[in-house]
Chain A
């Protein structure tokens, strides 16, 4: 068997390859440099003039990026400290710049991208070193990990039934004080199972019970015991039925429970949003509402999460509604998430009764609590 090349051999090969590449590129580069210089000259002159004026006025020369960075770093109460770095610093390997970027640079200041992990560099629990790899992987596999058209293939189960099951599962999660990971995984299991197996309507709750049991075993340190689930079902199902259904689900799902759920993206995107408690709660609230809505199954988990954060920012009038940091972290631009606004505008129309503009239903809240709570 051929031995694998040593590190030195690999490095040597790389150096040779790079030198050949640089010779090949040098001609193109020199022409490109001349062209860029021609375009940049007027912009540079204009910039120097502004700088000189600023200095005459007595202000020290400060790069625009630095000034913005200082402003962004000052933490609000209850907000994590976040450092800022200009986009140019973020992607050092991207040295070449296009003509378009040169022209655009004249008209608007450089976008700021927050390094959302800067405050966690010394936090060994955050695994900052791996965070990019983890989310790259999640984005790569998320398409395979979320089921679609599960209700359409069901002869007896409707969207409404699924919504009621999800509502009940949220109650179970609250009652047992289970983690959010458990809740999202439970619903993922239910949806996957509905996508591959026809379920009679009277057994839908059994699927839910077995799914939550499996999810607790996967996520929790101390999962509730089976008799708790028997009790939860009002003794509609026996101990044995729950255990048999567990095996059926695992077999049908090929034991695949390690999947990127919307929550893993949501937590990351909330962090990128530099949230206050209200924004965080709103994003979670909207995301859980999304769990109940079958229509969200059409979208990738990352898009559902990004939409929840975007909708939360819109609801709470955060400015800007979307920024470069969120675009970088989520992989979605504001335009890609605009379908939310289209729906909002549609239902703000008087012809539709302007229902989107109505205040939330305060009478759904428990006695003595206000909407702000």
Chain B
């Protein structure tokens, strides 16, 4: 009979050195998750990027259009990438009308992870570029309300998206429905966590991240939403419009170089601020974002607030006067 004492009180090293092979993981084992059948028929390539490709597919069971994101596992030696583990795990738990639905997950040839999502017509970036951006205020308002609803939901589930940008906002054309996508950089947050500062797309990155802060929270998403808001109104990225050497200088040109009074803690966060850039007086949002009603401009200024502690939350944004007459199209 197996003796618990002799086998288990010693270290694991001694116990397991005798192992020749692991039955559960051997090639003979029937449960080897290799080429998982995704139950889809590929129609065409919808998009391509550094991560891999997105295919437009047909679900073989339902006949419905689906999107399959095929991610190449670059560092095979490290197993499934952290961003895929986070994205899939978080999307498994996030159920909201304005968040894209993950239908299935599988592996192909041990080199790819396949994520099957519901299909949407295009993203907000394509909508802005190809359709001359949403010129009517009603659409902008409706889109903003839906984006904020999704962000508020994520935050109430303790999740930061951290990569909000127009190409990660998908649109169902017929229903004028918005869905947040690409949770690859998302993660759960806590008030004492340190996070990486190497994330987000630079035009939509919050100033505290650009200042290399590793402690941040829900406010980083609101900055990105503010950038998306401005882009929907003016038709191009807000900080691309401003002539500057980098994003941080562009932010300071637009909103003014922060001081300890306007952003308490900035000198500690960025001690060489005065060396880094000259002192800019704020140009003001209204200089660039001209076609926006006063309440919208007010909301935008609250989102694009340099001091994160004074930046409006998604929950509060939804209650802002700008949305008093919001209509769902």
Chain A interfacial positions (CB closer than 8 Å to B): 1, 3-4, 6-8, 120, 122-127, 129-130, 133-134, 137, 158, 160-161, 164-165, 168, 181, 199-203, 205-206, 213-214, 217-218, 221, 223, 225-226, 233-237, 239-248, 250-251, 254-258, 267
Q: Is B41 an interface residue (CB 8 A)?
A: no
Contact call B80/A247, Cβ cutoff below 8 A: yes
Q: Is B44 an interface residue (CB 8 A)?
A: no
Given A233-B12, A251-B33; 5 other pairs, CB 8 A cutoff:
A4-B328, A6-B325, A7-B325, A158-B4, A217-B81
Chain B CB count within 10 A is highest, among A202, A205, A226, A233, for A202
Expressed in whole angstroms, the Cα–Cα distance for A161 and B5 within the complex equals 10
Expressed in whole angstroms, the Cα–Cα distance for A134 and B33 within the complex equals 35
> Chain A's interface: helix, strand, loop or mixed, by majority?
helix
Query: Inside 8 A of A206's CB, which chain B residues have their CB?
Result: 22, 24-25
Known contacts A1-B175, A7-B326; decide if A236 and B33 are in contact (CB<8 Å).
no
B156, B188, B315, B328: the one within 8 Å of A258 (CB): B188
Expressed in whole angstroms, the Cα–Cα distance for A255 and B78 within the complex equals 17
Expressed in whole angstroms, the Cα–Cα distance for A246 and B32 within the complex equals 11
Q: How far is the CB of B30 from the nearest CB of chain A, in Å?
A: 11
A3, A134, A217, A241: the one within 8 Å of B327 (CB): A3
Query: Inside 8 A of B313's CB, which chain A residues have their CB?
Result: 129-130
Contact call A126/B191, Cβ cutoff below 8 A: yes
Query: Inside 8 A of A257's CB, which chain B residues have their CB?
Result: 85, 89
Contact call B17/A236, Cβ cutoff below 8 A: yes
Q: How far is the CB of A145 from the nearest CB of chain B, in Å?
A: 10
Query: Inside 8 A of B326's CB, which chain A residues have their CB?
Result: 6-7
Expressed in whole angstroms, the Cα–Cα distance for A205 and B10 within the complex equals 13
Q: Is B272 an interface residue (CB 8 A)?
A: no
Query: Inside 8 A of A3's CB, which chain B residues have their CB?
Result: 327-329
Chain A CB count within 10 A is highest, among B189, B190, B196, for B190
Query: Inside 8 A of A247's CB, which chain B residues have their CB?
Result: 33, 79-80, 107
The 8 A CB mask of B305-327 against A (1 = contact, 0 = none) is 00011010101100000011111
A8, A168, A234, A256: the one within 8 Å of B93 (CB): A256
Chain B interfacial positions (CB closer than 8 Å to A): 2, 4, 7-9, 11-17, 19, 22-25, 31-33, 77-82, 85-86, 88-90, 92-93, 105, 107, 155-159, 175, 188-192, 194-196, 215-219, 308-309, 311, 313, 315-316, 323-329
Contact call A248/B24, Cβ cutoff below 8 A: yes
Q: How far is the CB of B106 from the nearest CB of chain A, in Å?
A: 9
Q: How far is the CB of A216 from the nearest CB of chain B, in Å?
A: 8
Contact call B157/A241, Cβ cutoff below 8 A: no
Query: Can you report 5 residue pairs joining A to B where beta carbons are below 8 Å apart?
Result: A127-B217, A130-B218, A161-B4, A245-B24, A250-B85
A7, A213, A233, A244: the one within 8 Å of B25 (CB): A244
Query: Inside 8 A of A239's CB, which chain B residues have their CB?
Result: 77
B9, B22, B88, B89: the one within 8 Å of A241 (CB): B22
Nearest B-chain residue to A136, judged by Cβ: B156
Query: Inside 8 A of A129's CB, which chain B residues have their CB?
Result: 313, 315-316
Query: Inside 8 A of B188's CB, which chain A residues have their CB?
Result: 258
Contact call A130/B155, Cβ cutoff below 8 A: yes
B2, B82, B88: the one within 8 Å of A223 (CB): B82
Nearest B-chain residue to A223, judged by Cβ: B82
Query: Inside 8 A of A244's CB, which chain B residues have their CB?
Result: 25, 32-33
Known contacts A129-B315, A203-B22, A246-B79; decide if A233 and B16 are in contact (CB<8 Å).
yes
Expressed in whole angstroms, the Cα–Cα distance for A240 and B26 within the complex equals 10
Contact call B13/A203, Cβ cutoff below 8 A: no
Known contacts A217-B82, A255-B105; decide if A233 and B22 are in contact (CB<8 Å).
no
Known contacts A217-B82, A258-B93; decide if A160 and B8 are in contact (CB<8 Å).
yes
Expressed in whole angstroms, the Cα–Cα distance for A258 and B89 within the complex equals 6
Contact call B157/A137, Cβ cutoff below 8 A: yes
Contact call B19/A202, Cβ cutoff below 8 A: yes
Contact call B79/A168, Cβ cutoff below 8 A: no
Q: How far is the CB of A281 from the nearest CB of chain B, in Å?
A: 16
Expressed in whole angstroms, the Cα–Cα distance for A191 and B71 within the complex equals 29
Contact call A213/B79, Cβ cutoff below 8 A: yes
Query: Inside 8 A of B325's CB, which chain A residues have their CB?
Result: 6-8
Known contacts A1-B175, A241-B22; decide if A218 and B89 are in contact (CB<8 Å).
yes
B9, B16, B90, B311: the one within 8 Å of A205 (CB): B16
Expressed in whole angstroms, the Cα–Cα distance for A223 and B78 within the complex equals 10
Nearest A-chain residue to B160, judged by Cβ: A127
B23, B158, B195, B315: the one within 8 Å of A203 (CB): B23
Q: How far is the CB of A139 from the nearest CB of chain B, in Å?
A: 13
Known contacts A164-B8, A213-B79, A248-B33; decide if A122 and B327 are in contact (CB<8 Å).
no
Nearest B-chain residue to A222, judged by Cβ: B196
Query: Inside 8 A of A120's CB, which chain B residues have their CB?
Result: 191
Contact call B80/A217, Cβ cutoff below 8 A: yes
Expressed in whole angstroms, the Cα–Cα distance for A8 and B325 within the complex equals 7
Q: How far is the CB of A283 from the nearest CB of chain B, in Å?
A: 16
Nearest B-chain residue to A250, judged by Cβ: B80
Contact call A246/B22, Cβ cutoff below 8 A: no
Nearest B-chain residue to A245, judged by Cβ: B25
Nearest A-chain residue to B195, judged by Cβ: A221
Contact call B80/A236, Cβ cutoff below 8 A: no
Contact call A134/B158, Cβ cutoff below 8 A: yes
Expressed in whole angstroms, the Cα–Cα distance for A1 and B328 within the complex equals 10
Q: How far is the CB of B80 from the nearest CB of chain A, in Å?
A: 6
Q: How far is the CB of B110 from the nearest CB of chain A, in Å?
A: 9
